[in-house]
Amino acid sequence: MPYLGAAYLWVKAAHVIFVIFLMAGLFMMPRFFVYHQETVPGSAEDQRWIERETRLLKIILNPSLILTWVFGLMLMVEIGAWHFGWFHLKLLFVLALSGHHGWIASYAKKLARGQRSLADKQLRMLNEVPGIAAAVIVIMVIVRPF
C-alpha cells in the first residue's frame, strides 16, 4: 500500500536534486585535491584549500549524501524496490559511492594534516569513480535489466 500518495513525485524530485548536488561534489573534491597537493603544507594557499574542501564537505557533500539516502529510502519503501534484482545492484553501487564519499572526507583530513599519500594521477583516476557508479545506477533505475 503506497504511503507517499501525492508526495511521491516531490520525494522523487528531491532525491534526484540531491543526487545531482552529491555527484557535483564528488566530482569536484578530487580535483580540489590535485590542486591542493601542489601547495606547501602550512602555507597560506594550503589553508585556503583546506577551507574550500571543508566548506564543500560541510555545505554540499555531507547534507546531500544524507538527504539522498533519506529520500531514496522513502522511494525504496514506496515501490517495494527490495524485491527487484536491479535494485540490489543499484544499492551495491550506492553503498560504494557512499564509501567513496567517506574516503574523500578522510583524504581531505589527511591533506589538512600535510599528508600527501597519493599521486596526482591516482587522484585523477579516483575522479572517475563517481561517473562509473552513476552510469550503472542510472542504467539500473531507467532500464531495469533484471
Residues belonging to the binding site for heme are 15, 90
User: d(Cα 101, Cα 57) in Å, to the nearest integer?
Assistant: 9
User: Which residues line the annotated binding site?
Assistant: 15, 90
